[in-house]
Structure 1
């Protein structure tokens, strides 16, 4: 669901969503050549990657693959706590302005070249200097220095407690190889240090990975992975139950309960870090009025929205952060109240208008949700014209501010800053709705530099309340991560950040 004008947005939060990620558009990937995949893990994902450059893509389907190809300096564990990856350890200076990372020795890229501190410097400088999709994550970075071959220092302009989450939260911050980038091969034939390497691509059909025998960590335990692009969820499930694929997350929500009763399939769901929201363009009347936005917030039946889109696999929430997070703040001022919504609509000039609601057919749940929103607004005297666009057009229209209302989501959030700063700070790179509050700016700026966790949470709690009260976003719910796999696939666990990792899985002998 959404990460700004062509950033990691998703109409879901997953859409996103990955670390907030977008759906992306498929391109003709490199030719494959012959690869024996007889014993490979076969997985079905809902769409194809637009490219495989981790710094340039914002497509969730790309990151489902790249999660297993690249590494970051640190990475989140299942509880979203940052753990060593390419960096074995790190320390922060007393003034909190220098972070020193000690890198693993003996790590090589897939082409056999050595991983060194210069690769880290090049990767981060590339993101910053070229202002790529994730440059905002490094906004506080003043310099990245190779102290020696296996030591990197990152100097920041202010204390940055979220730095580990910024550089390790998802593979958009991966460490790349300079030659692979400068040759242009990175888009189709990426070279990383991860547990698998890309060895085959068939346009609009599949991407094939082979196990990296020189991987620095434990695993992988399967010889390779074939990602098949199956957009129709019923087809993916049919292939799963027929033994054609071992894993999928292309699951229609209405099929989840019946799937759980199938003894030949393992199904698991975990609360995600994603959130879904509706927002209104504050540059256009009547949504430049706080009362008009609050009328919409007061009119919505969130329980109905969650039910028709996720069939019980979502938790209603009026803030962004899910209740499973340490950053959760319970605040819900907008239970559906049609009488109050009508009063606000009347006083703000919203009553009697026809407003547009922009959704994307690449995330059908937004189209379904739009029907409920339209019905809710009709009850307060507001007509809704639903605009259903392909996702690329949706992103372009958002970037141009050509919308009244839109519905989408953000995926893969890790730190509390991910949920609020770029969406609601007046200078935020993804503040498409045009929200501006000096108080919220002050709180979010302070939260970015506060190193005491309790004090930091208080700042974001206060900012969240003001964001909700002003209806900058009208938050709806947090969906679950739902995935299914064959019983012979062992060692797989779904993650709240939707990172799909296969380095620890095994296939029982005799399957494939």
Structure 2
């Protein structure tokens, strides 16, 4: 939300409460950085800095600059070498061999080797962490030698590269850093910047990693400040107090574009926002009731109010400019159809406990519109607004009727659907289950012909939307702004915040 994860992938499941520092308490690691430091204002505070356990976008904004993955997406979302400089796939498509870079070190000076890859992936799999589903086809991760790793899969896995490189939730971590517990607030990675200090409620300071395998950054460091109020972040940007921000209310984009010394970028993204109804509760386990909600809402009004025209209404997850896009427009606003479905289900005068979070103001705004949309249907929306950590806890425990959130940082079609809609999958908080969808999603994970694979996901997505497992709302844009003094930065469609190649002045 790749904002939550999921939001990079995702806002989703398994938040861990930040520990180890109280408000105003600094966690010093190794200094504070020099004068040439970029100040970035992000809209919320990370819940923690363990890349394998967090699902918060605020965490991943920082961790993108601290950790590396074996491969990583370029600006076109094609996977490129990172900690692995090359890889081979066996003729039977069951063994992926990754050749690692020589001479890479962690921030503590220890050498990066194949042991770290095996440890990191085994940790995700064995501890059943939130991204373990990405390894569902992996039968073994084995060290061949210090600079070679074999990943064996039980079936052809066309999305393996995007699974291990799509976002920093698959980062390579340091075993000692994990076992000491320091990784939650003082992580040790191999990335271009290292954590210097963490002051809860205020900021995280990074310093440049002069020994970075990709070359030392051109700036001395990055300070991430937590500024949830968009107008405050924009004022700080205009005044020069901060150099970059994505804490930008959509209604202020137009005015900000005319500000002196400020660059604004609005880029199409692969993200999506949705509603989900808890199918473990009545009457939301009745598909007709969920469909009635889908017919009852006004997506265009939600899009306008939440994004001021910067987002695109969409009734499926994958945006129109993607090669995986599937046309779908079943749920135009139709109150008569919604009433008919509610009558058929034998329900009326419903009350919905809707979970939203002030950390994502668009959820609060949308909830107010949805409340007005559903009132003519005899449905009362009780809007429950909580902080994001509580939102995650309530989602994980199933304590909601309906919630709104987004998934960010998606690349492969599997990222959009499997974890959210496969029976029992990690992020299927709404408890949706359909045997045909399971079959299609399983097949999509092994199909190597792109055309056939696209049809599998189109069929699955259509059923998911027909049955309102998610009620999809829109695809947002990535909106970011920065000082004209910041050079070499570009907004990315996957929402990844990379400062390793930028310069100041």
In the superposition, the TM-score normalised over structure 2's length comes to 0.95
Most deviating of 179-188 and 414-423: 179-188
**CA shift in 2, pair 1:393/1:199, >3 Å:** closer
Contact 1:19–1:497 (CA<8 Å) still a contact in 2? no
Give the aligned partner of residue 77 of structure 2.
80
Give the aligned partner of residue 159 of structure 1.
156
Give the aligned partner of residue 99 of structure 1.
96
Secondary structure of the 1:449 match is coil
Over residues 281-303 of structure 1, what are the superposed CA-to-partner deviations in whole Å (9 max), with x where a residue is unaligned?
A: 22222222211111111111100
Q: Distance in 2 between matches of 1:484 and 1:367?
A: 24
Over residues 167-219 of structure 1, what are the superposed CA-to-partner deviations in whole Å (9 max), with x where a residue is unaligned?
A: 10111111112222222222222211111111222232221111111111145
Secondary structure of the 1:333 match is coil
Q: Distance in 2 between matches of 1:472 and 1:36?
A: 47
Q: Distance in 1 between matches of 2:163 and 2:31?
A: 38
Residue 131 of structure 1 pairs with residue 128 of structure 2:
yes
Q: Distance in 2 between matches of 1:208 and 1:37?
A: 11
Residue 288 of structure 1 pairs with residue 285 of structure 2:
yes
Q: Distance in 1 between matches of 2:183 and 2:498?
A: 21
**Offset of residue 32 of structure 1:** 5.4
- Which of 176, 181, 186 does residue 178 from structure 2 map onto? 181
Gaps of 5+ in 1: 2-7
Contact 1:24–1:61 (CA<8 Å) still a contact in 2? no
Secondary structure of the 2:377 match is coil
Over residues 286-340 of structure 1, what are the superposed CA-to-partner deviations in whole Å (9 max), with x where a residue is unaligned?
A: 2222111111111111000011111111100000011121111111111111221
Give the aligned partner of residue 414 of structure 1.
411
Q: Distance in 1 between matches of 2:387 and 2:445?
A: 35
- Which of 310, 314, 318 does residue 317 from structure 1 map onto? 314
Q: Distance in 2 between matches of 1:240 and 1:264?
A: 9
- Which of 482, 486, 489 does residue 489 from structure 1 map onto? 486
Contact 2:5–2:55 (CA<8 Å) still a contact in 1? no
Q: Distance in 1 between matches of 2:115 and 2:7?
A: 31
**Offset of residue 138 of structure 1:** 1.2
Secondary structure of the 1:207 match is strand
Structure 1 segment 109-120 matched on structure 2, within 5 A: 109-120=106-117
- Which of 239, 251, 256 does residue 253 from structure 2 map onto? 256
Give the aligned partner of residue 5 of structure 1.
none
Structure 1 segment 364-375 matched on structure 2, within 5 A: 364-375=361-372
Give the aligned partner of residue 20 of structure 1.
10
Structure 1 segment 15-94 matched on structure 2, within 5 A: 16-21=6-11, 27=19, 28=21, 30-31=27-28, 34-94=31-91
Secondary structure of the 1:197 match is strand
**Offset of residue 15 of structure 1:** 5.3
Q: Distance in 1 between matches of 2:78 and 2:5?
A: 23
**Offset of residue 270 of structure 1:** 0.7
Give the aligned partner of residue 431 of structure 1.
428
Contact 2:133–2:426 (CA<8 Å) still a contact in 1? yes
**Offset of residue 386 of structure 1:** 1.7
Return structure 1 stretches of 4+ with deviation > 4 angstroms.
Answer: 22-27
Q: Distance in 1 between matches of 2:402 and 2:288?
A: 15
Give the aligned partner of residue 4 of structure 1.
none
Over residues 353-394 of structure 1, what are the superposed CA-to-partner deviations in whole Å (9 max), with x where a residue is unaligned?
A: 222222122212111101111111112232222222222332
RMSD: 1.7
Most deviating of 308-317 and 109-118: 109-118
Give the aligned partner of residue 373 of structure 2.
376
Structure 1 segment 83-482 matched on structure 2, within 5 A: 83-482=80-479
Q: Distance in 2 between matches of 1:252 and 1:405?
A: 24
Over residues 89-117 of structure 1, what are the superposed CA-to-partner deviations in whole Å (9 max), with x where a residue is unaligned?
A: 11111221111001111111122221111
Secondary structure of the 1:379 match is helix
**Offset of residue 19 of structure 1:** 2.2
Q: Distance in 2 between matches of 1:56 and 1:287?
A: 30
Most deviating of 257-266 and 279-288: 279-288
Q: Distance in 2 between matches of 1:36 and 1:290?
A: 56
**Offset of residue 125 of structure 1:** 0.9
Q: Distance in 2 between matches of 1:109 and 1:337?
A: 57
**Offset of residue 164 of structure 1:** 0.6
Q: Distance in 1 between matches of 2:482 and 2:16?
A: 25
Q: Distance in 1 between matches of 2:380 and 2:135?
A: 42
**Offset of residue 36 of structure 1:** 4.5
Secondary structure of the 1:374 match is helix
**Offset of residue 121 of structure 1:** 0.7
Contact 2:424–2:431 (CA<8 Å) still a contact in 1? no
Contact 1:158–1:449 (CA<8 Å) still a contact in 2? yes
Gaps of 5+ in 2: none
Secondary structure of the 2:318 match is coil
**Offset of residue 352 of structure 1:** 2.3
**Offset of residue 481 of structure 1:** 0.5
Q: Distance in 1 between matches of 2:322 and 2:414?
A: 13
Contact 1:350–1:382 (CA<8 Å) still a contact in 2? no
